[in-house]
């Protein structure tokens, strides 16, 4: 067996540690130094470790991980950053004229793989203390596509362009106006086409440091595609974008294959990944501990493998339960409940922008999804429901004395204290209950964060804690604004299931603003579709059924969906395909009625 030992230094706290991992290690008691302490922190000698797991259980901060893997994988180790750190096995196989999608959890090695393929990180085949020469790397991959890839990369004969994951950091490295920056990198003479395709005409005269996340993302995609290269790498190109913008970016990226470019995309939005990719590599393993790259599969097969949690050609099960979709969301266990919230016709104005809200009501036990472009007033509407904003015309929503819990779109880490302190203050007496642990803490996977300070959390960790805090409050109205931001696919579905269970258990109502169509399909009972002109005028239409709402929304987006016959997940039809043309002709943009059977 190959053993992977990892120390999470963010969790390890030598000042409060009694070195239980060392004192209880059987080999240590036999005078074999399996665990050593360097600079006050434990270091596990993997070659001597017997894999008993005692140190893992004894560590009071969950900072140690030991995983036993098959010996065969050791020969396929691609990279390791250092002793007792994350280990990546295998690499994605790029192909010319093909879009290869990378699908997996956060912290599983997708960004590491992209950095290796871009040349930003030189892979070391696991030999972090004795890095191999390029000749050894090329020999390691002999007989595969990667042999030629790394040979050309080592000789600077392969030009690679990489769009990074965190676009909010771009203004720190690049300065100037959007138009000037894009003009400097327009090596393919495509700037005019991309500006129109990605709808960034209105921001060309703006400075990069004042752009929103969505604007920065579109500029980053445009800059990457404008460069002349052999290989194009995109790390989460849909972040911060609404549905229409995601599809526009996906179309622009797919157009690279017309010039026989090699394209690799890491993405969490299943609908966009399905629409964008020709092939899929599934990443599985244990986040922050180790990651394994699967063999290449067709896009439909690859995504279905990920949802089912089982890779047939490798005979590997990496998830206990499959992710199951329903053509119609499962109904709650009781009949339609009483009205929780009523709102009349309202209008809210901010300078040149105005939001018009049509009258409607929400009932007990339902989840209402909210869909629409960025800048159309979705967040404003949620703030009206929460009482944070007051309407310019009309009366505020009638909530009576019902308690409201609100998770904002942009989360700050201003709270001074640990995650456990925050959730205790929200959940109060429920914090120690078995229901709270099994229905909120475990599904959202925040137990391992309890000892961490809020200020030290990453974007994804902060998002999970914010969702947990929102659902911890005893309320009858839950308002969640873009809860899937920074979350991977599994975390998005766990979030959706958790919201549904809390709503059902507490006979409450939830409004969820979400750009991920697949996540909305998974969670919503009814939909509110926002229409109008972004930044100028928005209309909040009354909630309608999921089917009718999706039809209205997708018609506005000019795209059609179908249901996968195996997993029932929504899939985007390729534009202009036979099914796409047929569904548009019969005005069934969501899926054809026959798919309900």
Pairing of strands 35-38, 41-44: antiparallel
The 8-class DSSP code of residue 285 comes to E
Q: Dump pLDDT digits (tens) for 179-233.
A: 999 999 999 999 999 999 999 998 999 999 888 888 999 999 999 999 999 999 9
Question: 380 to each of 55, 375, 558, how far by Cα in Å?
Answer: 50, 9, 26
Higher per-residue pLDDT: 329 or 479: 479
Radius of gyration of the chain (CA): 25
Across the chain, mean pLDDT equals 90
Instruction: Supply the pLDDT for residue 336.
Output: 53
* pLDDT (mean) for 555-571: 87
**Chain centre to alpha carbon of residue 142:** 34
Note the pLDDT of residue 469: 96
**391 and 265 share one domain:** no
Q: In this structure, is residue 525 part of a structural domain?
A: yes
Q: Are residues 58 and 91 in the same domain?
A: no
Number of domains in the chain: 4
**Is residue 329's pLDDT more than 70?**
no
| Contacting residues for 585 by C-beta, under 8 A, at least 6 apart | none
Among 308, 326, 355, where does a domain finish? 308
Closest CA to 68 of 282, 289, 281, 287: 289
Q: Are residue 169 and residue 207 in the same domain, yes or no?
A: yes
Task: Judge whether 509 and 403 are in contact, CB under 8 Å.
Answer: no
Asked if 7 and 87 sit in the same domain, the reply is: no
For the segment 500-539, what is each residue's pLDDT rounded down to a tens digit? 999 999 999 999 999 988 889 888 999 999 999 988 999 9
Residue 580 host element (H or E): helix 578-585
Give the burial class of 588: count Cβ atoms within 10 A of its Cβ; 0-12 exposed, 13-18 middle, 19 or more buried.
Answer: buried
pLDDT in tens, 273-284: 999 999 999 999
Residue 332 confidence (pLDDT): 46
The string of DSSP codes covering 20-37 is HHHHT-HHHHTT--SEEE
Overall average pLDDT of the 39-63 stretch = 88
Residues 394-409 have pLDDT tens digits of 998 876 678 999 999 8
Residue 46 has pLDDT above 70, yes or no: yes
User: pLDDT tens-digit profile of 358-382?
Assistant: 999 998 889 999 999 988 999 999 9
* Separation of alpha carbons 236 and 453, rounded Å: 27
Q: DSSP string of 282-326? A: EEEEETTTEEEEPPPEEHHHHHHHHHHTEETTTTEE--SS-----
Q: Are strands 360-363 and 339-343 parallel, antiparallel or unpaired?
A: antiparallel
Residue 320 maps to a domain: no
* SS3 assignment, position 512: strand
What φ, ψ does residue 104 adopt, rounded to 5°?
Answer: 175, 175
Q: Are residues 277 and 404 in the same domain?
A: no
Residues 468, 484 within the same domain? yes
C-alpha 492: how far from chain center: 7
Query: Per the domain annotation, does 551 fall within a domain?
Result: no
* 318's tokens: 């990496």
For residue 47, what pLDDT is reported?
86
Asked if the structure places residue 324 within a domain, the reply is: no
In a domain, 316, yes or no: no
- CA–CA distance from 91 to each of 114, 136, 186, 329, 432 (Å)? 9, 16, 30, 37, 43
Average pLDDT over residues 550-563: 89
Asked whether residue 421 falls in the same domain as residue 379, the answer is yes
Burial class of residue 470 (count of CB atoms within 10 Å of its CB; 0-12, 13-18, 19+): buried
Residue 596 has pLDDT above 70, yes or no: no
Q: CA 509 to CA 530: how far, in whole Å?
A: 20
What average pLDDT does this structure show over 103-122? 95
For residues 410 and 277, membership in a common domain is answered with no
CA atoms of 450 and 418, how far apart (whole Å) = 6
Q: Give the sign of the dihedral formed by CA 146, CA 148, CA 149, CA 150.
A: positive
CB atoms within 10 A of CB 207: 14
CB neighbour class for 205 (10 Å; exposed up to 12, middle 13-18, buried from 19): exposed
Q: Which pLDDT belongs to residue 11?
A: 81
**Residues 84, 58 share a domain:** no
What six digits make up the tokens of 374?
């960025």
Q: Which of 556, 522, 551 is closest to 269 using CA atoms?
A: 522
Residue 331 lies in a domain: no
- Domain's final residue, options 503, 520, 543: 543
**Tokens 């000789």 belong to which residue?**
155
Question: Has residue 331 got a pLDDT over 70?
Answer: no
User: Which residues lie below 8 Å from residue 383, measured CB to CB, with a gap of 6+?
Assistant: 389
494/500 Cα distance (integer angstroms): 10
What is the predicted pLDDT for the residue at 191? 93
In a 13 Å sphere around the CA of 467, the CA atoms on its Cβ side amount to 35
Whether residue 573 contacts residue 591, with contact meaning beta carbons closer than 8 Å, is answered with no
The two structure tokens encoding residue 479: 């308002």
Q: Are 258 and 289 in a shared domain?
A: yes
- Alpha helices by DSSP H, listed for 93-212, are 110-118, 134-140, 145-154, 170-173, 178-184, 191-197
Domain for residue 512, yes or no?
yes
Q: Is the dihedral of CA 215, 217, 218, 223 positive or negative?
A: positive
The arithmetic mean of pLDDT across residues 465-481, rounded, is 95
Do 174 and 206 lie in one domain? The reply is yes
Q: In the block, which residue shows the tokens 């109008």?
A: 532
Pair of tokens at residue 359:
């009258």
The mean-pLDDT minimum among 11-25, 169-183, 226-240, 327-341 falls in 327-341
% of the chain at pLDDT higher than 70: 97
Residue 302 and residue 354 in one domain: no
- Structural domain boundaries enclosing 349: 339-543
Domain containing residue 179: CATH number: 3.40.50.300
Which residues, 6 or more positions from 143, have their beta carbon under 8 angstroms from its beta carbon?
none
Closest among 396, 391, 386 to 473, alpha carbons compared: 386
The pLDDT of 64-80, averaged and rounded, is 91
The whole-angstrom distance between residue 233's C-alpha and the CA centroid of its chain comes to 17
Q: Of the given ranges (61-65, 110-114, 466-470, 506-510), which has the lowest mean pLDDT? A: 61-65
330, part of any domain: no
Burial class (CB in 10 A: 0-12, 13-18, 19+), 579: middle
pLDDT for residue 327 = 63
Query: Which domain-ending residue is among 255, 286, 308?
Result: 308
Distance in angstroms (rounded) separating the CA atoms of residues 124 and 116: 10
Spatial distance between the Cα atoms of 422 and 466, rounded to a whole number of angstroms: 10
> What was the pLDDT predicted at 560?
92
Beta bridge partners of 36: 43
């Amino acid at each position: 067996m190959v053993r992977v030992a990892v120390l999470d230094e963010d969790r390890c706290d030598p000042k409060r540690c009694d070195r239980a991992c060392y004192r209880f290690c059987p080999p240590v008691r036999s005078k074999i130094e399996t665990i050593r302490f360097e600079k006050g922190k434990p270091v596990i000698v993997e070659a001597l470790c017997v894999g008993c797991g005692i140190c893992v259980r004894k560590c009071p901060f969950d900072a140690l991980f030991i995983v036993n893997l098959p010996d065969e994988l050791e020969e396929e180790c691609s990279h390791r950053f250092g002793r007792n750190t994350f280990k990546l096995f295998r690499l994605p196989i790029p192909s010319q004229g093909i879009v290869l999608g990378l699908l997996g959890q956060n912290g599983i090695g997708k960004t590491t793989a992209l950095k290796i393929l871009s040349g930003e990180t030189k892979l070391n085949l696991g030999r972090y203390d004795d890095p191999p020469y390029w000749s050894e790397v090329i020999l390691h991959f002999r007989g595969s596509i990667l042999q030629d890839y790394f040979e050309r990369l080592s000789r600077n004969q392969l030009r690679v362009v990489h769009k990074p994951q965190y676009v909010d950091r771009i203004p720190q490295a690049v300065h100037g106006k959007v138009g000037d920056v894009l003009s400097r990198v327009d090596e393919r003479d495509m700037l005019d086409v991309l500006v129109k395709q990605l709808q960034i005409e209105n921001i060309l005269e703006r400075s990069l440091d004042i752009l929103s996340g969505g604007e920065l993302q579109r500029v980053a995609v445009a800059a990457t595609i404008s460069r002349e290269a052999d290989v194009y790498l995109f790390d989460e190109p849909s972040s911060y974008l609404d549905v229409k913008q995601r599809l526009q970016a996906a179309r622009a990226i797919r157009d690279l294959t017309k010039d026989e470019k090699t394209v690799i995309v890491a993405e969490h939005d299943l609908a966009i990944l399905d629409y964008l990719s020709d092939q899929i590599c599934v990443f599985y393993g244990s986040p922050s501990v180790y990651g394994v790259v699967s063999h290449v599969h067709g896009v439909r097969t690859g995504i279905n493998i990920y949802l089912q949690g089982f890779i047939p050609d490798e005979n590997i099960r990496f998830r206990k339960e499959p992710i199951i979709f329903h053509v119609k969301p499962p109904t709650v266990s009781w009949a339609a409940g009483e009205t929780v919230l009523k709102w009349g016709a309202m209008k809210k104005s901010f300078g040149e922008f105005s939001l018009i809200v049509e009258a409607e009501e929400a009932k007990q036990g339902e989840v209402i999804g909210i869909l629409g472009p960025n800048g159309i007033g979705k967040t404003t509407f949620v703030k009206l429901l929460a009482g944070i904003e007051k309407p310019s015309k009309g009366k505020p929503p009638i909530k009576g004395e019902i308690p409201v819990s609100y998770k904002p779109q942009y989360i700050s880490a201003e709270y001074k204290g640990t995650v456990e302190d925050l959730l205790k203050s929200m959940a109060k007496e429920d914090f120690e209950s078995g229901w709270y642990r099994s229905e909120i803490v475990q599904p959202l996977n925040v137990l391992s964060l309890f000892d961490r300070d809020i200020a030290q959390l990453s974007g994804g960790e902060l998002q999970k804690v914010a969702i947990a805090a929102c659902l911890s409050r005893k309320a009858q109205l839950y308002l969640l604004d873009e809860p899937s931001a920074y979350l991977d696919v599994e975390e998005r579905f766990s979030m959706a299931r958790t919201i549904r269970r809390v709503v059902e258990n507490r006979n409450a109502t939830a409004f969820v603003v979400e750009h991920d169509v697949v996540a909305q399909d998974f969670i919503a009972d009814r939909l509110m579709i926002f229409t109008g002109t972004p930044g100028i005028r928005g209309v909040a239409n009354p909630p309608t059924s999921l089917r009718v709402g999706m039809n209205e929304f997708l018609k506005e987006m000019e795209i059609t969906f179908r249901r996968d016959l195996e997993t029932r997940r929504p899939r985007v039809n390729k534009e202009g395909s036979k099914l796409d043309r047929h569904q548009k002709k019969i005005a069934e943009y969501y899926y054809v009625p026959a798919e309900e059977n």
